[in-house]
Amino acid sequence: EKQHTVVIVGGGAAGISVASSLHKRDSSLDIAIIEPSQTHHYQPGWTMVGGGIFKPESTSKPMAAVMPGFAVWYKQSVSSIDEENNQVVLADGSKIGYQALVLAPGLELNWSGIDGLKESLGSNGVSSNYQEGMASYTWATVQNLKSGRALFSQPPMPIKCAGAPQKAMYLSSDYWLRNSVLNNIDIQFHNAGAVLFGVPDYVPALESYIEKYGIELNYQSTLVAVNGPAHKATFRRTDPNGNTVDREIGFDMLHAVPPQRAPEFIRDSRLANESGWLDLEDDTLRHKHHSNIFGLGDVSGTGNAKTAAAVRKQAPVVAENLLANLRSQPMNAAYLGYGSCPLTVENGRIVLAEFGYNGALQPTFPSWINDGTKATKAAWYLKAKQLPALYWHVMLKGHEWLAKPARR
Ligand code: FAD
């Protein structure tokens, strides 16, 4: 049996960042990363690909290029965790022992939650920026559409980057406006939830764009089925009496987002909370019932916005607390729930939502540099020009610029 001091499950945004943050604090630490994929994706770039701003190839790198040289890389997936024996079980049945475990496998897109969606993607105007490689089809469809109906759907929360379903809608609408076809297109937003955005401070700015683009808003309207060849989508509505009504709507373009859940090996384990997400303490990011298990990123059951921006603040907290724990010292670092969602309301302006637990605003910049409740050019510049480099060269490398953990 193989054994490592720290085993990290997942080599995405969270797994690589936390490995680098650990190594920065103790370069002699024996770290293994378990990650089956040959490619690492910068998913925040997919919205920009869908809006024709980024080239698809700028959003990924070979996994080997981001995998830190100090870590042992197992190119497999984890099939289960044996927390009683401090072991993870890999897909081929082999086991790896750990002293401390970090769970960072992200989340699972539940395509089967919407009948016919997965098969429909990539033709008949049906797309999703959430599917790897599909954002360029969103952009092609947007450019081709000159009239007709465009539907944008948002599934029940929680999802990663909660603003991304409407980001796709605003960037598409902006393109149609600039090309003088907006008036010929009936744009509808169908949101399973009851509000435009979960943090009220950002809603007025978003509403002004809804008005500008003439978008019809539908709340508690959940996409349940798609028929690509027939160009029809079925939405389920729950009325105040709890009765459901299904409505079929024809479309020329459909940007759909699937419901999301924790990966099965977490969801079906004793490490999950009642909703299936990893059951972590809000501030320390340590498992509620296992003192040598930590977690971060999209798999986490903490109430923050599931974003790479959250990971940037979580990684140093996990690194510091995990090392303190290995040395039997108290855990002092605290995560305050920071997450960020740059809402691309038009090509050239962004509403930069930054908030922590319970919607508490946590702006990085003073309001004279960037007022997060308004659409600004400064925030667009940050997203389009700075954040990709921040991701690849700062966060993944363990440089904790503006990410110093709070104290407990
Ligand atoms: P991921 O980066 O998804 O990585 C998970 C890794 O775990 C993957 O490499 C996977 O192969 C691996 N894995 C899975 N299962 C196993 C297993 N069983 N064993 C081993 N390894 C496994 N965030 C922002 O901050 N700003 C944005 O503007 C933004 N926009 C977004 C737009 C879109 C369209 C999407 C899809 C996401 C967006 N995000 C944004 C969210 C951001 O991409 C995620 O929050 C972030 O990638 C989470 O990191 P993670 O490491 O938890 O998950």
Ligand 1 centroid to Cα of residue 176, in Å, is: 30
CA distance 1 to 52: 49
Q: pLDDT tens-digit profile of 254-279? A: 999 999 999 999 999 999 999 999 99
Where a domain ends, among 283, 303, 335? Answer: 335
Q: pLDDT tens-digit profile of 376-403? A: 999 999 999 999 999 999 999 999 988 9
Is pLDDT above 90 for 365? Answer: yes
- Ligand 1 probe mutation, 9, 78, 298, most atoms within 8 A of CB: 298
CA angle 192, 194, 196 (to 5 degrees): 95
Which protein residue's CA is at the shortest distance from atom 26 of ligand 1? Answer: 44
Q: pLDDT tens-digit profile of 15-39? A: 999 999 999 999 999 999 999 999 9
Do residue 78 and residue 126 come from a single domain? Answer: no
Is pLDDT above 90 for 132? Answer: yes
Q: pLDDT tens-digit profile of 55-85? A: 999 999 999 999 999 999 999 999 999 999 9
Confidence of residue 222 (pLDDT cuts 50, 70, 90): very high
Do residue 63 and residue 190 come from a single domain? Answer: no
Q: Is 171 left (phi over 0), alpha (psi -120 to 50) or beta?
A: alpha
Worst-scoring range by mean pLDDT, 2-11, 235-244, 323-332, 372-381? 235-244
109 and 260 Cβ atoms separated by less than 8 Å: yes
Is pLDDT above 90 for 238? Answer: no
Do residue 123 and residue 250 come from a single domain? Answer: yes
Where a domain ends, among 286, 305, 335? Answer: 335
In a domain, 387, yes or no: no
Domain that holds residue 174: 112-260
DSSP 262: -
Q: pLDDT tens-digit profile of 281-319? A: 999 999 999 999 999 999 999 999 999 999 999 999 999
Over the chain, what is the mean pLDDT?
97
Which protein residue's CA is at the shortest distance from atom 28 of ligand 1? Answer: 44
Mean pLDDT (whole number) for 93-97:
98
Q: ipTM more than 0.85?
A: yes
Positive or negative: CA dihedral 377, 378, 381, 387: negative
pLDDT of 1 reads 82
In a domain, 384, yes or no: no
CA distance 286 to 288: 6
Confidence of residue 240 (pLDDT cuts 50, 70, 90): confident
CA distance 110 to 181: 34
Q: How many domains is the chain partitioned into structurally? A: 2
CA distance 260 to 408: 31
Ligand 1 binding pocket (C-beta < 6 A) is 9-15, 34-37, 43-44, 46-47, 77-78, 104-106, 129-130, 160-161, 164, 263, 265, 297-298, 306-309, 311, 340, 342
In a domain, 368, yes or no: no
Strands 221-227 and 232-238: antiparallel
Q: CA gyration radius for the chain?
A: 21
pLDDT of 241 reads 87
Q: pLDDT tens-digit profile of 243-254? A: 999 999 999 999
Confidence of residue 242 (pLDDT cuts 50, 70, 90): confident
Give the CATH number, domain containing residue 160: 3.50.50.60
In a domain, 390, yes or no: no
Do residue 294 and residue 326 come from a single domain? Answer: yes
Do residue 256 and residue 276 come from a single domain? Answer: no
Helices 13-25 and 308-326: crossing angle, nearest 10°?
40
CA angle 44, 306, 173 (to 5 degrees): 45
Count Cβ atoms below 10 Å from residue 369 Cβ, excluding itself: 12
The token pair at 109 is 């897109």
